[in-house]
Amino acid sequence: GADENRIEVSLKREVDILQSINHPSLVQLKAFGSDEKRALLVLDYCPGGDLFDFATSGGKLLTPRLIRRIFAELVAAVRYLHANYIVHRDIKLESMFR
């Protein structure tokens, strides 16, 4: 129905965007496949996990210097996306990986 069509259009748009971007601070789409019921997106492996887990782990690894570096990389990635007319509408620590 209409919902399935909307999902299909959204998925195609997401895949097209992921295929078009190339920036060191953004994950890359390695492969994509789908059938009638599911889609599989293969992205870069990020062994350090997401930044939410890192920030809330209670460790003292999150130094001011590291925070500045993370912020600078985030700003550079968003600047790249905006320069390519792409808006990331879900920027949060859980969407950022180490």
Q: How far apart are CA 75 and CA 20, in angstroms?
A: 19
Considering 16, 50, 53, 90, which one is annotated as catalytic?
90
Is 53 annotated as catalytic?
no
With a CB cutoff of 8 Å and minimum separation 6, the contacts of 74 are 25, 91, 96
Bridge partner residues of 39 (DSSP): 34
**Which residues are known to be catalytic?**
90
